[in-house]
Structure 1
């Protein structure tokens, strides 16, 4: 985690040096302030977009009293405020968390509530609360922000150092995409690691790993059977389940479900 995080900030430092080399050292305060604003806007817009993309609505406490009660108990045990609870029809059994401590939101799909037993649902809720308690959403937005900033910096360096406006424009687009993809490899490595940590914290919170392991098995089967889903690619990074195969594992937000289950039951 420390090594990958250091590499990410090294990318950012290189981008900042590149900008200063082109524009001069006087732009350093602007680079720093602009970066903070950029990540802040990305965080706010990303939270709104994630909730909107799945049509999340407030979860009525009168209809889901047990979920509200368990989230309150688990939140107290993790030392965080009870997050806002929302429910959505995603087309797949899933859940995700957005926000930070004191302003978190947990979204649970109706399909998940119908699929899981109570103790299995507790494991999923604890996993999502662990993401909020560990500030994982903020960390992911920061990583994605660094990737975007580095890509933008690379594009400007190409544009301002070239001598053919049209060719440099297309080259800048290609360079920006390649650089962003490279940085995102490290961001996604962090994401996969944080999933293991959230699983471990959930296991401790509910007193055992088997309920969450069983939930993951059911969710995995439910996702494979689903033909249509309201979960887009950006929200998938926040969900309880999501993985790739082959080379796609390098760009997956989640580790293989089999390894997660093995760790939970180990």
Structure 2
């Protein structure tokens, strides 16, 4: 009798779960239909999403970078304080397609530098320790690397690429939400009906896991693509700095000095070094190539210059 009562209660709970989840899925579908009816065509919906992503990304980038510079308590480096550094910066800017950025110094907790803004106006922030750590030619290589990021508008482009990746991932997840809710309700409900509430070996549970894993795989793929582009842009900035300064080894030595001084922990520093790792996942998810890879490419470029030959540098050119 007790077993029959339990099975009856379990079956009732199972049916209730199935109905509740299916109703939730139906509400999501109807909500999406209603939102879709507000726009006459799919083209307009796509255009709206593109515009919204661009605007939100641009606004977030512009205000976010300004707040970032203000948050780290930078000091403006005037020409009177550091005339040699400003002359070096003037020379680099004159050879590049970029407006002269404002120059700041800060305590970044690691010997580093980073750029914010774009080619039509930006800022370079340099950690105080770099002035002690790097001789002038090597500091010039670091400045040229950061100017290359400004010249290519890398910060804004990276934010836009990341914004579109997040938007695409969100749209796919939203489209799959009704199926996820339905499968989850059926998996839980049928398990209760069978009298085994904790069982997740049924068909609906397996389908739910498959769909969830596919969505997660899509998110990981989008992340990997964004990170791969970031690494390519680091190589491109190294190449541009070597081209402008004519001294690839100055940048290579600077990267080695920074690596030996400390392993940076601040996540926003674009020239932060990365040591070589044997973990493929760590390499794929890194936003920066390892210092070994960057130094080796710069050595190859220096050797090419000495021999008077030009070596192909791959897709980053």
Same fold (TM over 0.5): yes
TM-score normalized by the length of structure 1: 0.78
The SS at the match of 1:43 is helix
Look up the SS of the partner of 1:253 in the other structure: coil
Moved more, 54-63 or 115-124: 54-63
Q: Displacement, 1:223?
A: 2.0
Q: Confirm or deny: 8 A CA contact 1:91 1:111 kept in the other structure.
A: no
For residues 184 and 113 of structure 1, the distance between their equivalents in structure 2, rounded to whole angstroms, comes to 35
Deviation at 1:177, TM superposition (A): 6.5
1:57 correspondence with 2:89: no
Q: 2: CA distance between counterparts of 1:42 and 1:116?
A: 34
Residues 243 and 252 of structure 1 are in contact (CA less than 8 Å); yes or no, is this contact kept in structure 2?
no
Residues 99 and 105 in structure 1, CA contact (< 8 A), matched pair in contact too:
yes
1:211 alignment counterpart? 250
List structure 1 segments (4+ residues) > 6 angstroms apart after TM superposition.
171-177
**Which TM-score applies when normalising by structure 2?**
0.66
- The 2-side partners of 1:37 and 1:243 are apart by 36
Provide Cα deviations, 1:134-180, integer angstroms capped at 9, x if missing partner: 2222221121111221232133223455546x98xxx9999876644
Is contact 1:152–1:176 with CA below 8 Å preserved after alignment? Answer: no
In 2, the alpha carbon distance for the partners of 1:92 and 1:173 equals 40
1:265 partnered with 2:283: no
Q: 8 Å contact 2:252–2:294 — kept in the other structure? A: yes
Q: Quick one: distance in 2 between partners of 1:144 and 1:53?
A: 23
Measure the CA separation in 1 of the matches of 2:113 and 2:216.
30
Who is 1:105 aligned against?
123
Equivalent residues in 2 for 1:117-128 (5 A)?
A: 117-128=135-146
- 2:98 corresponds to: 80
Q: Identify the residue that residue 153 of structure 2 maps to in structure 1.
A: 135
What runs of 5+ residues in structure 2 fail to find an aligned partner? 1-31, 186-208, 301-317
Tell me, yes or no, if the aligned pair for 1:39 and 1:141 is still in contact at 8 Å: yes
1:249 and 2:283 equivalent?
A: yes
Q: How much is the aligned-residue C-alpha RMSD, in angstroms?
A: 3.0
Report if the CA contact (8 A) 1:185-1:251 is conserved. yes
Farther-moved stretch of structure 1 (198-207 vs 145-154): 145-154
Counterpart selection for 2:171 from 153, 177, 183: 153
Number of aligned residues: 239
Counterpart for residue 56 of structure 2: 38
CA separation in 1, counterparts of 2:94 and 2:133? 26
| Secondary structure, counterpart of 1:108 in structure 2 | strand
Q: Distance in 2 between matches of 1:138 and 1:222?
A: 30
The more displaced of 41-50 and 180-189 is: 41-50
Q: 1:163 to 1:211 in 2, by over 3 A?
A: closer
Distance, in Å, in 2 between the alignment partners of 1:174 and 1:52 is 41
Shift of the 239–213 alpha-carbon distance from structure 1 to 2, 3 Å rule, reads closer
